Amino acid sequence: MIRWIFKVLCCYLLFDSIICAFDNSSLDKIILNCGSAEFVSFNGKYWSGDVDLKFIPAEYARRTVSMASTSMSDDVPNIPYSTARVFHFQFAYSFPMSPGFKFIRLHFYPTTYSGIGGSSRKVSFSVFSGQYRLLSNFNPSAMANTLKVTYFTKDFVVNSKEKVLNISFIPFPEAYGFVNGIEIYSFPSNFRNYSRKEAAFEMVHRVKVGRSNEVQSSLWDWSDDSSYILGSMSGSSIYTQEETQDPWTDMSDYSAPISLYAAAKTMGSDEAINMMYNLTWKFNVDPGFNYLVRLHFCEISYEVKQLNQRVFTVYINNQTVEKRLDVIALAGAPLVGAFRDYLVFVPKEKGERQELLLALHPNIESNPLFKNAILNGVEIMKLSDEHNNLAAEVLQIVGKRKIPIRLMIFGGLGGISMLCLILGTWLKLNSIHSIVPKLQFKSSTMPMESLSLSGLCCEFKLADIKAATTNFTEAMVIGVGGFGKVYKGSIFINGGATEVAIKRKHLQSNQGIHEFQTEINLLSTFRHTNLVSLHGFCREKEELILVYDYMSHGTLRDNLLLKNSPLTWIQRLKICIGAARGLHYLHTGTKHPIIHRDIKSTNILLDSELVAKVSDFGLSRIGPTTASTSHVKTEVKGTFGYLDPVYYRNRTLSKKSDVYSFGVVLFEVLCARPAVHPAPMEEANDGFISLAEWALRCHKSGDVDSIVDPFLAGKIAPQSLVIFIEIAVKCLAEKRTQRPTMGVVLHNLELALYLQEQEVEDITNQ
């Protein structure tokens, strides 16, 4: 299994701390039309031909030829793509330039060139610049087919230490290589690099959000976000004609342009629908590298003018990186641009390309009256590894064949001049947060006092667990489940004592290492307001221990049985809504659907504010991974009284199995009765009756009032009760096709809450 490290950089940066002034007239700049002898102006740039220039050292002069394209497509610009520098042996350009950071753009147009035997000749080469490997085993035709483009560029930033910048091309044996154009731009000499001095970068994605027209930038191109949106819910584009302000100072050539902040994408105007999905983008990236993800924000909606009005949560790769993002608080005012940076490590998994997911969801804890999110732009930059390598081994699909090459995506520079400062700020603040979604069991040698555990799945020492629970004294037990006993404890986290819930496996438990590892892998992979947070684990000697956030109000089941302080109907509805949101996220908000498989009232925990959090993922399974399949075959596991009858009979598990179990929970909430309870003598078989069967029977006979908790009698708005019972009954439908999705369940519960609150408000105003 591979360890993922997710490092969140929350940077409140003032640009003047870069301590550098720009003088564009003094910057080194080379714009080369390879294979040409002409000097031409095209697209606002002056292109120099490389034939008569002294950029090719004498030892390489005979190893290359300039050639013209033989079949130019109509949509391909003549400059620089009508000619190319073609090489069959190692070849290099040498550009006299001052030392420092250089931006390098390579242009490629894969086509047939004069004097070369077309497709019978293999194209495969590597590219180096000084100590940096930029490309390896590179095939421009395969790249173009994968990207579905005719021509493309590859953009890099390197730190040159010499007065000459070399760019070397090395073809593979019996193969050749080519390049159509080269652009090089220098950063100012007084630019300060606070990060690893040898770091190089590649821009892999630069995306404008909410607009299809061109974003005006003097050097770099921005792609439309339509090809990156994941799912059918693509949000709503908004624009402003008012003047916006950007967060940069004299950086127009190297940063996000001001026009980017004049458009954005929100979730839409239907807030009920907004709560049912995450606004999500998917980006393909190479595994094995760190990426800096920069998100651009500007509050341009006319109806959002105040702090805490639009507040939303940001997830990257299913990790919560911002729980309560308020753009106005970040930028200081409406119509002012701002950005946030996050450093993400993407692991290698089977040599395949990985997906980086960005998702937004309203945070109604901060403002329950405004359910929306906003984004203006995204930049994703790849950082070179410790071997100064930016090339990654991946599979590229060409037709029906898979060709292994080292692949990187084209783009623009995009704020690279800020990147080093950001990384330096990160190092200074030591604000690294690590996540371990794919578990590797290793002995922990780091002292507990030195660990920063915010958002971290950490391996605790058994001695610390024993100290937290007073050696597992019975006085600390707060619950017992199928895995074992749960203890309340206090552990030193983030510089202070933190109350936690410690779940210890009982030696006689039917659950074991598989459930233990499943729990850790899942809870370390995603974060959500309505899913319980896992601090870490302990696997020492024979012990299997999990450490969670402490939920001060315990389980939903315990709260339903309280007689001295029973939950109100509004409280119960909000708890159901929170649990439904957590389940809806599991079913639709992750890369593959997660089926919980053990939804019950004891696995819904309540924090100090009675916010519901779904817990206990030891039995969870990844759901169907293809659209043509609705279920997975597996042995039956779960809790009697909550089991989907179809799953029990046929051993087929689906998301609708969770829906059935949740329907039982809904009737528990309404009736304040357990899922199985003593049956009347005249109905006694084994002495117990299923709550689901009893509730459905009462509903069918029209005797609904008999199942409502006596405490709630006369306190539920009639329409709220009707909506609630109807959705609960649908959850328990015999046929899965007749059961609703969790999104529909969530919508109906929110409607029931709205109707109840309206009733209360009307009574109050009378």
Helix, strand, coil shares of the chain, percent, nearest 5, are 25, 30, 45
Which member of 225, 341, 598, 616 is catalytic? 598
Burial class (CB in 10 A: 0-12, 13-18, 19+), 23: exposed
In three-state secondary structure terms, 80 is helix
- Residue pair 182/34 in contact (Cβ under 8 Å)? The answer is yes
Token pair for 234 = 């693509």
- Spell out the long-range contacts of 187-190 with Cβ–Cβ below 8 A and sequence spacing 24 or more: 187/27, 187/100, 187/101, 187/102, 187/103, 187/254, 187/417, 188/20, 188/21, 188/22, 188/23, 188/26, 188/27, 188/100, 189/98, 189/100, 190/19, 190/20, 190/21
In three-state secondary structure terms, 609 is coil
598 is catalytic: yes
Which of 388, 337, 378, 340 lies closest to 358, judged by CA?
A: 378
Token pair for 433 = 């947060």
Which of 105, 129, 111 lies closest to 67, judged by CA?
A: 111
Other C-beta atoms within 10 Å of 29: how many? 13
Other C-beta atoms within 10 Å of 627: how many? 6
CA angle in degrees (0–180, nearest 5) for 283-108-216: 60
- Spell out the long-range contacts of 650-654 with Cβ–Cβ below 8 A and sequence spacing 24 or more: 653/595, 653/597, 653/621, 653/623, 654/595, 654/623, 654/624, 654/630, 654/736
The whole-angstrom separation of Cα 560 and Cα 572 is 9
The whole-angstrom separation of Cα 341 and Cα 548 is 28
The whole-angstrom separation of Cα 379 and Cα 332 is 22
The whole-angstrom separation of Cα 147 and Cα 143 is 6
Strands 534-540 and 458-459: parallel
In this structure, the dihedral spanned by the alpha carbons of residues 88, 89, 90 and 92, taken in order and rounded to 10 degrees, is: -50
In the block, which residue shows the tokens 């190319």?
A: 84
In three-state secondary structure terms, 709 is coil
Which of 394, 355, 400 lies closest to 135, judged by CA?
A: 394
End-to-end CA distance of the chain: 63
Which of 662, 612, 619, 611 lies closest to 638, judged by CA?
A: 619
The whole-angstrom separation of Cα 427 and Cα 292 is 14
Cα radius of gyration rounded to whole Å, the chain = 30
Which residues are identified as catalytic? 598
